[in-house]
Amino acid sequence: MITEIGTEINDKPLVIAGKTYGSRLITGTGKYKTLDLMKQTLETSGSEMVTVAIRRVDLTDRSPQSFWQYLPKGMDILPNTAGCYNLADALRCARLARELVETNLIKLEIIADAKTLLPDTEALLEGTKVLEKEGFKVLAYTNDDPIMARKLEEAGAAAVMPLAAPIGSGQGILNPINIRFIRDVIKNVPLILDAGVGTASDAAEAMELGADAVLMNTAIAEAQDTVAMARAMSLAIQAGRLAFLAGRMPKRLYASASSPVQK
């Protein structure tokens, strides 16, 4: 039920791995200038889930000034395998995350190329099958191929996360048609757009295309005002979701008078 922007409308809640979330914005934790700024930005975003790169933080340091103490209370932690370039490393990282972060959630990310940071979808599919059998709830970071998206859902992924554009590029949604195709084939798990968002209009477009949620990091962390951008993203996602539910008017080749003459 969307109420914050003044309109109530029937809507299915966002459910990830059996848990219901009120916010459809998932945030990252990298690239912030300070940990204080990260905390303030995350709080402003209204996000209820935050993703953490397991290879880039000290999992054992829980001291008062550690990274972990700056995560807003109550946010669910989604460990990710960013920086893994093969299946073995990704599996090792996922298992370590479960042991030390105490969660079965894992964003599985296996990179095929250091320049583009595009995903190795063959390894991703195999890793999803392996981790699902071990009891993980796999959120699979993939490309915008609807066939691979369907295979990941069939393999047991708890969510399918196609990219909008290369990680950190800020190019927005390069292939909206494929995102629509993916929306059509993914029926039983959330579709979460991940990577490439640059500004609020990109987030709104993702929701208008039918995404259930959007995950972003750089678009907020590299904004000139991260707190303001976090708020903008939150509102854009609400607006985009409401527009999707409302139903877009059809496009027409010719004009259609908004005030027809009465005959």
Q: Strand pairing partners for 16?
A: 19
Q: Which residues are catalytic?
A: 107
